[in-house]
Amino acid sequence: MTTITLVGAGSAEFTAELVTDFLAVDALPEGEFRLVDIDPVRLELARGFAEHLIERTGKGWTVRADIDRTAALGGSDVVINTIEVAGLRNVRHDYDIPMRYGVDQCIGDTIGPGGLFKAFRTIPAWLEMLGDIDRLCPEALVLNHTNPMSMMVLAASRASRIPVYGMCHSVHYTIEQIAEYLEVDLARLTFRAAGVNHLAWITDLWLDGDDAYPMLRERGRLAEVWEQDPVRFELMFHLGRFPTESSGHVSEYLPYFRSRPETLARYARSGYRGESGFYANNWPTWRAESDERLARVFAGDEEYPLERGGEYPSRIVEAMTTGAPVSVYVNIPNDGLIDDLAPGGVVEVEAIVDGDGIHPQPFGALPPQLAALDRRHLEVYDLAVTAVLEGDRELAVQALMLDPLTSAVCPPADIRMMFDEMVAAERADLPSFLTP
C-alpha cells in the first residue's frame, strides 16, 4: 500500500487535482492520503473533498488529516510539498511596494522582489520540514511544488541530505500551447527542452520528425496568434527559441518588457499574458471561488471531473510502481546535466522514470545566448539562498540588486530602500536576520 503525504493540503483545489491523478492510476488500487495543513478549516475542506473523490472512484484509498506534520510523516512513501507561507497576507506588499519604485510584476512569486521575499518567508519553514522528513521517513520520495521552485530546491540541496525533485508543469503546458498555435495534434510533436525553471527553452521542436520552428515562426507572425503570447513570440523571433513559461511570467525574468510604461503597453495583455498585478489583484478572489466551487460539488450542484491532469507526481509513482518508463521534467542541481550552466545550480531537464527510480538526462550545452540569460538567474538564486542559510542580510539585499527586472528599473540606493520597506511591511513573517 502506498502512503502519500501532502504538506500544505489546504490548497484544497490543487490537493483535489493531485488526489484525482493518483486515483486514476490502475496500478495503485489502494493506499493512504495523509493531508497536512496548519489551517484546520482548510484542512477539513481538503479532507472532505478527498473522501468525496475516493467514494466516487470506488478505490480502496483512505484519508487522514493532521495539523502536525510529524504525526503524518512517519512511514510515508511519497511526500509532496505545496506549502504557502503567509502568502495571502503579503501578496499586496510583494506587488504594491515594488510598484511604487517602478518595478511592475505580473505574478511575482518566483523572481523579482515578490519572488525573493517569498523565498525569504518560505525557505526556513521548508528546511524545518526537511529535517522532519530526515528523521521520520528518510527513504521517502520528496517532490516539491512550492515556488520559488529554483530557490526551494537549491536550499534543500545545500542544507539537507534528502534528495528533492522540483515539479513544474510549464514544459508540459508549453508544448500543448505550441500544438494549438500550430493547429496540429499534440502527438505529432516531439521536442527537447532545458534551462532553469520558468526560463527554460524548447531548444528543438519537430513535427512528424521535421523541424517545426519555421512553421512556428510563420504562425507567430499572424496577429491573432502573436496576441495570444506576445512576449514568448518576441523572444523566439529575436533569441531563436520559445521559452517554457507564460508571457506574463517570463516577462518578469528579463529586463526587456516591463521597464517602461510604453514597452509594457506594447507587449503586456490581460491575465497570464502580462497583466500588471495579476496575482495580487486576483488571488483572494480565486481562493474564494475555489472554495465556492468545492462547496457546490459537495452539495451535488456540480460534478468534479475525474480526468487525470498534467501534473507529474502520479506519473512518477506509477512508473516507479509498474516499471513502465515515463518522461517528465524535473528541477534538480546541475550535476553534469547542462554543460554551460554552473555546477550545483538548479536546472530544469528531462528525466526518465522507471522501476529503478528517477534518471535525469544529460542535455549538453544550451545555445549560448540562452545560457547567458539563465546564468544571471542562477547567480540571483545563489545569493538569496546563501543569505538565508548564513543569515546574511546584506547578501539578501544584493540578490535583489542583481534581479534582472529590478536592476533594469532602479539604481542600487532605491533597491535598498525598497528592500527595507518590504521588510518593514512583512516583518512578522520574515526570518529574524532580515529584521534587526
198: annotated active-site residue = no
Written in H, E and C, the secondary structure of 17-77 is HHHHHHHCCCCCCEEEEEEECCCHHHHHHHHHHHHHHHHHHCCEEEEEEECCCHHHHCCCC
CA 220 from centroid of its chain's CA atoms? 26
Of 169, 172, 249, 359, the catalytic one is: 169
H helical segments located in 240-338: 247-252, 261-267, 278-298, 313-322
CA distance 24 to 239: 40
Strand (E) positions, 321-384? 326-333, 346-354, 357-360
Q: Where are the beta strands (DSSP E) in 116-155?
A: 141-144
Q: Residue 207 gets which letter from DSSP?
A: E
81, containing H or E segment: strand 78-81
Buried b (16+ CB within 10 A) or exposed e, 19-43: bbbbbbbeebeebbbbbbbeeeebb
C-alpha cell of 227?
496576441
Q: Measured between alpha carbons, how far is 122 from 108 in angstroms, rounded to an integer?
A: 14
**Gap between the Cα atoms of 39 and 172, Å rounded:** 31
Catalytic residues: 169
